[in-house]
Amino acid sequence: SQQGEEDPQALSIQEGENATMNCSYKTSINNLQWYRQNSGRGLVHLILIRSNEREKHSGRLRVTLDTSKKSSSLLITASRAADTASYFCATDAAMGGSARQLTFGSGTQLTVLP
């Protein structure tokens, strides 16, 4: 089952604009991670935010986390055509046991038009 739901499912913007993607999840978490996937390829880790953090930055990426609303957002500033990809949030659930598998959302397909 998929823990997170991304919104929107698809987003198309012009180069230079900002892109915002949202993720909602259901259970308590240790941390939330964002991954990027280019078409037909594996996923690449972008950024991680812990449950006790509210905002985190990495280059052109800004992630926020609201644990009371069980939601996160990923902002990509000054987008480039090379940012075109699918973006997934993944939750590292605060559950018992040692598996600590990540549970992925259904993704946002971002298209940046040159």
Partner 1 sequence: DTGVSQDPRHKITKRGQNVTFRCDPISEHNRLYWYRQTLGQGPEFLTYFQNEAQLEKSRLLSDRFSAERPKGSFSTLEIQRTEQGDSAMYLCASSSWLGGTGANVLTFGAGSRLTVL
48 vs 77, beta carbon nearer partner 1: 48
Q: Which of residues 50-69 bind partner 1 (CB under 8 A)?
A: 50
33 binds partner 1, rule: CB under 8 A: yes
- The one segment of 11-19, 42-50, 63-71, 73-81 that binds partner 1 by CB under 8 A: 42-50
Cβ 78 to partner 1 shortest distance, Å: 26
CB-nearer residue toward partner 1: 18 or 30: 30
Walk across the sheet containing 61-66 and list its strands.
Answer: 5-7, 19-24, 71-76, 61-66, 55-58
- What's the rounded Cα separation, in Å, for the pair 50 and 62? 14
Contact with partner 1 (CB under 8 A): which of 14, 27, 28, 101? 101
- CA-based nearest residue to 89, from 17, 14, 28, 37: 37
How many whole angstroms separate alpha carbon 73 and alpha carbon 90? 12
Residue 113's alpha-carbon distances to 40, 43, 63, 67, 72, in angstroms, are 20, 22, 23, 33, 25
Region near partner 1 per CB under 8 A, out of 12-20, 54-62, 66-74, 100-108: 100-108
Name the residues that contact partner 1, by CB under 8 A.
1-2, 4, 30-31, 33, 35, 40-45, 48, 50, 88, 90, 92, 97-107
